[in-house]
A = this chain, B = another copy of it.
Amino acid sequence: MRVAFIGLGTMGEPMALNILKAGHEIVVNNRTKNKEELLAAHGAKRAITPQEAAREAEVIITCLSDTPDVEQVVLGDNGIIYGAQVGSVVVDMSTISPEATCRMADALSKKGIKMVDAPVSGGSEGAMHGTLAIMVGGDSLDVAKVLPVLKAMGTTITHVGPIGAGQITKSINQIIIAGVYVGVAEGMALGLKAGLDMEKVVQAISQGAAGSWVLSNRAMNMINNTYPLGFRVRLHQKDLGIALETARKLGVTLPVAAVVDQIETAVIANGYGDEDVSAVARSIREQSGIR
């Protein structure tokens, strides 16, 4: 297919490379121009603006940091909306506000342009290996159309509902992660303070009802008090902010996610925002006098 890819960051660059490798034609665009060079060296065309990138594309992918970035690229000056063909599909793979997603889809639909939201999980490693989990919201026909391109980037691709549903699913993912990470961090802190052999403790409990991906893959970070990436605390907190805002608008109470948001504020304020999310354990450890 003819694909435009806008946003070549930590996630976007390897995702675009995987689309190229799968045999699709690709036009790339990035605010910082030299980030386009690697893709160009692999055969991608380059476009000066999102508008120009969108012109020939059947599928236009955006992979950006936050809601205002996507709004700018889709609806702003030289935005996708001024270049995209009738019937083309915008696929936003950023993690942004579900409400803003629906507003953009409305604006695009007035010009005959379709939109699908498709945020991902699996981190930079999943982006590199094409093993992302992709949570897709949109009309079935549009989702079916872009599926060959999504398959170049991910292994678990789930169509969860109408436009915006992908973003809400991503919020659900981040809310659950919040509870699990801090639950594990609190458990590890108790055991550390009591002087237990924490590797044995993790082994004793990880196959039962307390078991999770976090316990199996991130508890050792918390025990060793080193937090290599992974997924940055500050990015998780950005996503949790979207989740809390969405929950507030929908009227859903999230008492644990709200506490975790405060813990992450403290971790970031103390200079650890670029560490892995498991660094929430720093807050529990330090407040408990564990050195």
Complex Cα distance, B176 from A188, in Å, reads: 9
Known: A179-B179, A179-B184, A183-B178. A169 touches B208 (CB 8 A): no
Please report which residues of chain A, range 212-258, place their CB below 8 angstroms from some CB of chain B when the two chains form the complex. 212-215, 217, 231, 243, 246-247, 250-257
Q: Is the CB of B173 within 8 A of A205?
A: yes
Instruction: Let me know if A112 is at the binding interface, CB within 8 A.
Output: no
| A99 smallest CB distance to B (angstroms) | 11
Q: Is the CB of B209 within 8 A of A211?
A: no
Complex Cα distance, B205 from A243, in Å, reads: 15
**Count of chain A residues with a beta carbon within 8 Å of a chain B beta carbon:** 74
Instruction: Let me know if A141 is at the binding interface, CB within 8 A.
Output: no
Please report which residues of chain A, range 157-187, place their CB below 8 angstroms from some CB of chain B when the two chains form the complex. 158-161, 165, 168-169, 171-184, 186-187
**B156, B208, B259: the one within 8 Å of A121 (CB):** B208
Q: Is the CB of B194 within 8 A of A250?
A: yes
Known: A169-B204, A250-B190, A287-B253. A160 touches B197 (CB 8 A): yes
A158 and chain B: residue at smallest CB distance: B204
Q: Is the CB of B208 within 8 A of A213?
A: yes
Please report which residues of chain A, range 233-291, place their CB below 8 angstroms from some CB of chain B when the two chains form the complex. 243, 246-247, 250-257, 259-260, 263, 284, 287-290
Other contacts beyond A165-B196, A212-B212, A253-B284: 10, CB < 8 A: A160-B197, A172-B190, A172-B205, A173-B208, A177-B209, A183-B257, A186-B252, A211-B212, A252-B290, A255-B259
Q: Which 3 A-B pairs have the closest CB atoms?
A: A179-B183, A158-B204, A212-B212
Interface residues in chain A, defined as those with a beta carbon under 8 Å from any beta carbon in chain B:
98, 121-123, 133, 135, 156, 158-161, 165, 168-169, 171-184, 186-191, 193-197, 200-201, 203-205, 207-215, 217, 231, 243, 246-247, 250-257, 259-260, 263, 284, 287-290
